[in-house]
Amino acid sequence: MFLKLFLLFTLITILELALIIEVGTRIGVMYTIFLIIATAVIGAYLAQTQGLSILMRIQNELKAGILPNDALIEGLLVLIGGVLLLTPGFITDTIGFLCILPPSRRWFREKLKGYFRHQIYWQIYYGG
């Protein structure tokens, strides 16, 4: 598992660096830096507004006696998206925006729910 994560992070870092250099040569260094800062600022704003919206939804569902499963998964996705948007790079920014924006976040939520169901099934029937 460690090796897979190490390779993933190394590959993403190399791809990000190559893409930043390519964008910098095409549009200029200052515009590239501006884009990186702009996506971080926009991402922080979106993460804050979406995060507060999800927090209110969780509170309302708890008050109604409902376990907020979907809202908790969406909160996790907004957190991950916010971290990715604060990380300099265009690949991580794209993934971050996909995690934060509601339509794509719902798609990710359903995929994660399927993954979690599979993990629970595996634990129950095969014991780990």
> HEC profile for the chain?
CHHHHHHHHHHHHHHHHHHHHHHHHHHCHHHHHHHHHHHHHHHHHHHHHHHHHHHHHHHHHHHCCCCCHHHHHHHHHHHHHHHHHHCCCHHHHHHHHHHHCHHHHHHHHHHHHHHHHHHHHHHHHHCC
Rounded to an integer, what distance in angstroms lies between the CA atom of residue 81 and that of residue 94? 9
User: What does pTM read for this prediction?
Assistant: 0.83
End-to-end C-alpha distance for the chain, whole angstroms = 16
The whole-number pLDDT of residue 118 equals 84
The whole-number pLDDT of residue 17 equals 96
The whole-number pLDDT of residue 66 equals 85
Whose CA is closest to 74, among 117, 106, 113? 106
Residue-by-residue pLDDT tens, the chain, 128 positions:
789 999 999 999 999 999 999 999 999 999 999 999 999 999 999 999 999 999 999 999 889 888 888 999 999 999 999 999 999 999 999 999 999 999 999 999 999 988 888 888 777 777 65
Do the beta carbons of residue 120 and residue 89 sit within 8 Å? no
The whole-number pLDDT of residue 128 equals 57
The whole-number pLDDT of residue 106 equals 94
Rounded to an integer, what distance in angstroms lies between the CA atom of residue 52 and that of residue 75? 9
The whole-number pLDDT of residue 68 equals 85
The whole-number pLDDT of residue 125 equals 77
